[in-house]
Structure 1
Amino acid sequence: MFTPAHRRTVKSRLRFVSCCWAAVIWVSSPMLADEKEKDPATLSLEVRVDEIFRGDIPRTVAELRGMEERQTTVVKMAIEATVGIQAGMAHGSGVIISEDGYVLTAAHVVQQAKRQDRKIYLRMHDGKRVLAEPLGLFRTLDAGLVKIIQTSENGSPLKWPFVEMADAKSIKPGQWIVVTGHPGGYKRGRKAVVRIGRITSANKEVIVTDCTLIGGDSGGPIIDMNGQVVGINSRIGRRLSTNMHVPVSTYHDHWLRLSQGDVWGSPPNGRPYIGVRGEVDGEEARVVELVPGQPGEKAGLEVGDVILSFDRRDVDSFTVLQELVSETAPGETVPLRVRRGEKEMLLGIQIGRRP
């Protein structure tokens, strides 16, 4: 299990911003933490606020104010640690979880950059663009890890704002959480957008919340009211109240493989499929059959075409093509170079889901 070396004290800084649970919250200026020694009444109130954010009901005005104070600093911390991710044509979000720049995200946000061995860029909360590289991907649960590699002008490492990962045992249905991300992709001058909601169910494979997600939020964090990451935005549900997130336990349990850059598993939304059949034992990837209505036919492939490259990687047999297709995800569009007779042409194919 990974624990960031540099941790910050959360409870002494916790302050709250608003009681509008479903609203999108914009934070423009931080509030100062109370540095004074807390009396027993204050400590008792903090205990009650903890209980409320775990699913209890507030009963007094003082408790509502305590909730308000708690959320302000949690939101501020979440925004400072949330980044926008630009990985080629893909846009998503992520969250920094260590001072030296490890970033949790969703595997599908950076998988194409990882496959093509390309660097990516992150947008910080102040708009600064920094260089990073994708590391490991656990595609089955949609967990991805990124490392910031930007250095100072003299080459020394930089320190980054971060929020730590929660203990997975602390995650319970009914608890309040903050979700941040960059819906629609990063927009200049706009900080990460915040939503408030609750965890409706949780297990080792998925957390479900009622926080609305849209494209671009993928990879952003869900953060508990102690200011710790409990999950990562993964998939948009069919209903507004059912959105899926990668549990933080996935990153704890598989940290070594993720940090070493391993890629394993299949996408959670189905096996990739292009509807093309060929000779497995052949010396080239010649198309012998196209499944009607499937991606290959829709992309313009014809029987007899020879596929020369897939996603900018050379293809010298149908077996190689199958392996390359298996590394993609349904919905992803990749370039396809083919030979038809004496001509070569470039097509774009959108990966489908195996029926």
Structure 2
Amino acid sequence: MKKLLCLFIFLLCAAPFFAHSQPSDVKSLETSVQKVIQRVYKASVYITPYDSINKKATGGSFSGVVVDTAGYILSAAHAVKPNNLYEVTFPDGRKFRAIGLGRIPSNDAAVMKIEEKGSWPYAEMGWSSSLKKDMPCISIAYPGTLAAKTPTVRLGYVAETETSEGFIRTTCLMEPGDSGGPVFDMKGRVIGLHSKINLSLEDNFEIPIDLYRKYWSSLIRPASYVSLPAAESFAGDFHASALKAESVILNLAETLQYTESRMDKSVTVIKSFVNGSDRQILGTLIDLKGLVPEMILKGKSFLLSKSSMVGDEPLVELKQGVTRIAQVLKRDEDNDLVLLQVQGKINGGIALKTVTSDSVTFGKVGKFLVSPQPIGNGVVGVLGNTQFAIAKGPTAAYMGVNTSLKDGRVVISMVQPRSPASVAELEVGDELNSFNGKPVSKMEDLSLEISKHRPDDTLSLQLVRSGVPYNKQIVLKPRRLNERHIAYRFTDGRSERRDGFKSVLVHDGKLKPAECGGPLYDIDGNFYGINIARVSRTSSLAIPAATLSKFVKDSGLAGNLQTPISDI
């Protein structure tokens, strides 16, 4: 009876912690974001050129938004051509044909119209003249790296109401595929359309909505304007005074610091040697009570992490400077998961028994998510979509060097950062003598030999540096093809294994690759899954909680466990 009373008191105190410890302005902002999504999501459309001869959509997708019941769609001029046909797909899967109308390349504004008659979901046009710096805004578009059939949400704020080039600069992350996609204010009105980016994640440039109002009569006629057409006057925003800056959005991680500190008890650092180099990734402490007999769990602790970043003899950092060897119990290559056992009991962990289904419905999209870190503030983002699959992209093996001829010798002229060549400490000026015993006499000899190999093959180079011969073993890595756009060169970088998943969640938290492997929570303390990859400029991926639970249940855990040695 005493134990039951203690348990009741604990639950009474602990249960409302997350629900009532959030700053009210953060919860209010989260609620507002979700209301906007519910209101305008159906109007955000996926667009591809349409081949009328072969009766099918062709490559080169982009985004847009329907803004009235007549079927007018706003998009970007660099994606739309007058009188060309396009296939428009709504989030519910319905497909219709549209025709390109007017475009103004100088400000990147363009309009198209659905050809069929119908009643279309639409979003209202707002006023870019009403914008205020630090005002929250929401992107609902179709980033190309995800190839999801429904639009993905990202949250940001207005960083500049008007740049020197006449664009709006926001922090809503953007990449190819998003072009022409809408950005909304907190009243659910379109304030801008995605246009372009710079290298910085803070530089996302939107076409101001007022330009569409100003040149509307010209834009609804099929023409491409070399110079600006005649401008029109339009009424101002009657609700401008209701729009406001919200300083809380400028640093959500700092605002949620106390909440995140309660979550970071389940995250730790894992260090190991993988494919010739030292790697570091995060791990998630899990509680297996109810899944495995108590007698088997005694004196042991268990973690889940990202398999491709964990070697065969990993070290788990229990606290700063204190590590312990972990045993690899099971790997799941499809989901890039690894299950680890550490001798000794570490208190805490996520109770996987309570996970019964993923239940990440559309109503959850837009919820604020926290990725706690062992040191410092967590990474905060919003849930961008429901579960979807992300196909495996085309890859090729690469080493990461450019070469040139110098006095008849092939020498390294460039070493790509974070490439296999960089890891192996090759340097500009090194002379290449042979590759797997084959002489290198022409620049194409090296690329031709690499093309015969697959990622993760280990190859032998014979080189000369300052007149001194030396040898190096190089482990080739995968390189995704057709990814030369500036969007793929952002500072944080992408995870090496980032695709080929059957079911993932996506959020816009700016995780570095080494910050994957840790848990993902909402701000009410609900566990959503484990961060598995930074997939692109706009998106991080997580393996859903129910997939983790199934992996552990199917792992044959009881037969793999070792005898405990001590408690921690």
Shorter-normalised TM range: 0.5 to 0.7
Q: Tell me, what secondary structure is at the counterpart of 1:200?
A: strand
The CA deviation string for residues 29-73 of structure 1, in whole angstroms up to 9 with x for no partner, is xxxxxxxxxxxxxxxxxxxxxxxxxxxxxx984443332222112
Match of 2:33 in 1: 71
Inter-partner Cα distance in structure 1 for 2:145 and 2:97: 17
> Runs of 5+ in structure 1 lacking a partner?
1-58, 151-156, 267-330, 332-355
Inter-partner Cα distance in structure 2 for 1:186 and 1:263: 31
How far residue 211 of structure 1 moved from its aligned partner, in angstroms, is 1.6
How far residue 212 of structure 1 moved from its aligned partner, in angstroms, is 1.4
Q: Contact 1:91–1:185 at 8 Å: present in 2 too? A: no
Inter-partner Cα distance in structure 1 for 2:173 and 2:108: 18
Does 2:150 match 1:191?
yes
Q: Contact 1:74–1:225 at 8 Å: present in 2 too? A: yes
Does 2:243 match 1:261?
no
Inter-partner Cα distance in structure 1 for 2:177 and 2:218: 26
Inter-partner Cα distance in structure 2 for 1:90 and 1:254: 27
Structure 1 counterpart of 2:59, from 72, 83, 89: 89
Q: Tell me, what secondary structure is at the counterpart of 1:80?
A: helix
Q: Contact 1:208–1:244 at 8 Å: present in 2 too? A: yes
How far residue 75 of structure 1 moved from its aligned partner, in angstroms, is 1.3
CA-based RMSD of the aligned residues comes to: 2.3
Q: Which amino acid aligns with 1:140?
A: S
Q: Which amino acid aligns with 1:144?
A: A
Q: Contact 1:84–1:186 at 8 Å: present in 2 too? A: no
**Which is higher, the Rg of structure 1 or of structure 2?**
2
Structure 2 counterpart of 1:133, from 99, 107, 110: 99
Structure 2 counterpart of 1:147, from 107, 113, 126: 113
Does 2:127 match 1:167?
yes
Provide TM-score, normalisation by structure 2. Answer: 0.33
Q: Which amino acid aligns with 2:169?
A: V
Match of 1:108 in 2: 78
Structure 1 counterpart of 2:208, from 214, 239, 247: 247
Number of aligned residue pairs: 199
Inter-partner Cα distance in structure 2 for 1:62 and 1:79: 25
Q: Contact 2:182–2:191 at 8 Å: present in 1 too? A: yes
Q: Contact 1:90–1:110 at 8 Å: present in 2 too? A: no
User: Once the two structures are aligned, what percentage of the paired residues are identical?
Assistant: 29
How far residue 149 of structure 1 moved from its aligned partner, in angstroms, is 1.1
Q: Contact 1:84–1:185 at 8 Å: present in 2 too? A: no
How far residue 77 of structure 1 moved from its aligned partner, in angstroms, is 2.6
> Runs of 5+ in structure 2 lacking a partner?
1-20, 50-57, 228-484, 486-568
Q: Contact 2:128–2:192 at 8 Å: present in 1 too? A: no
Match of 1:214 in 2: 175
Q: 1:215 to 1:148 in 2, by over 3 A?
A: same
Looking at both structures, which has the greater relative contact order when contacts are Cα pairs under 8 Å and sequence separation is at least 6? 1
Inter-partner Cα distance in structure 2 for 1:186 and 1:131: 23
Q: Contact 1:107–1:137 at 8 Å: present in 2 too? A: yes
Q: Tell me, what secondary structure is at the counterpart of 1:160?
A: coil
The CA deviation string for residues 132-187 of structure 1, in whole angstroms up to 9 with x for no partner, is 1110001101001010112xxxxxx2111111111232112210000121111784
Inter-partner Cα distance in structure 2 for 1:161 and 1:129: 13
Does 2:85 match 1:119?
yes
